[in-house]
Amino acid sequence: MSTATSQPLVFWKDLSPSPVPLEPATPFSPRVLIVGGGVIGLVTAWTLLDKGYHVTILAKEWASFGKEQRLTSQIAGALWEYPPAVCGQHTDAISLRHSRKWCMVSYHVWDAIAAKPDLAREAGVSVKPSDFFFPFPIDEDPSQLAKMDEIAASGVRGFRHSQSIVQERNVNPEYGAVDAYELLAPVIDTDRAMTWLMDLVQRKGAKLVTRTLRGDLLDQEQALRAEYAADVIVNATGIAGTELAGDPTCYPIRGGLLRVINDGSDFPVIDAALSISADVANEIVFLVPRNDKILIIGGITEPHEDDLDYTLDTPIIKRMRARCEAFLPQLKKARLDPDYPIAQGLRPFRKHNVRVERELRPVAGESIVKYSRIIHSYGHGGAGWSLAFGCAADLLALVEEALLDKAPTPMATEADQIRRHKEETDVRIMARL
């Protein structure tokens, strides 16, 4: 088994689409139980399998493809974004610092998958222009200018800043967009990608178990580890973090999307993602060509709403469609997908945003302090597809740490880590005096 580090994952070097793990597990390899069958759980499983771990994934439900409610990972817009994303809810400084790193790891993995045509078709991954529009010159807004400069320097492909993008994309001049920038971004067909990921991890040796867990994982840790012969437990359950991680700061942000036919028969094919973010305007515009047939129209952010009861006649859905048609008038001719016209789900947020961290509480019921071997990866909100591989890279290091029963430490910024290192160095120096 390879030594886990927090170095970025590199496709073909650390991850392979082959059914054979890069480093096959042995009978003596550690065993990991992953709770959660969405994109975070599956990508984490893939990463661990290629590092030589045995993996079991436990989930209450899996990706489905009928007309009933689908998994949150399937509902997601799944346009790669640099944080904070279009829905604008990731604001915690520590989380943002980590997310900027995580998203670039994911960018390069998705981009590498998209570069192989056969693999891209199988996995449902493409790279398309992604345009962000503004009702003011970007140079006049320091925060937006800083973010744009970060993106330009991040390593994304195809970056350009030009007011001409507004005209090139046939945006309604009366809508008020006056400036824009563009980059090439991965777009994931979530239904196809979830099918591919589930098949891939099973071929690599993962066992999938359908089961619903209730209550705090910490209270069940020893029993679950014994039942599944697990050395480590990974919590990748999304919104269930409230219950399974004992985290009262978790909350849902309800969202809804319309799916329309984008095959050129009703309006010219839209082959670029077009967005106006929540931190730019009061309401979002979010248009994403999901695949060769479907265009996603969004978006909505309703914090602390958990009823999935949108219909085509719900006022906020009608307002969303009208807003997007005003932005791009050709959408007035759009036909809804007859098989699945409206998608809705609950983005799994938490107060302090994304958590990739070991369980900080000691094992329950122990007379002496014993460190938990639970590792959390949840709270990704609407950015799971953008952050998954970066989070999995950091989780590898935490698995290795947990196996050594080292004391867990909270998530920290680089400045915190530098300060802690200096403090430890000062202590050692003082001890020598």
Residue 347 labelled as part of a binding site? yes
56 annotated as ligand-binding: no
Rounded to whole angstroms, the Cα distance separating 414 from 420 reads 10
- ∠ CA 150-154-158 to the nearest 5 degrees? 105
Residue 195 per-residue DSSP state: H
The secondary structure element, H or E, covering residue 208 is strand 207-210
Q: Is 190 annotated as a binding residue?
A: no
Taking Cα atoms as reference points, which of 317, 266, 316, 322 lies closest to residue 295?
266
Q: Helix, strand, coil proportions of the chain in percent (round to 5)?
A: 35, 20, 40
Residue 72, annotated ligand binder? yes
Which DSSP helix (H) or strand (E) runs through 415? helix 414-432
Per-residue DSSP letters for 123-185? HTEEEEEEEEEESS-GGG-HHHHHHHHHHHHTT-EEEEE-THHHHHTT--GGG---EEEEEEE
Phi, psi of 151 (to 5 degrees): -65, -45
Residue ranges for the known binding site for D-dopa are 347, 382
Annotated binding site: 72-73, 237, 347, 382
Q: Name the binding residues for FAD.
A: 72-73, 237
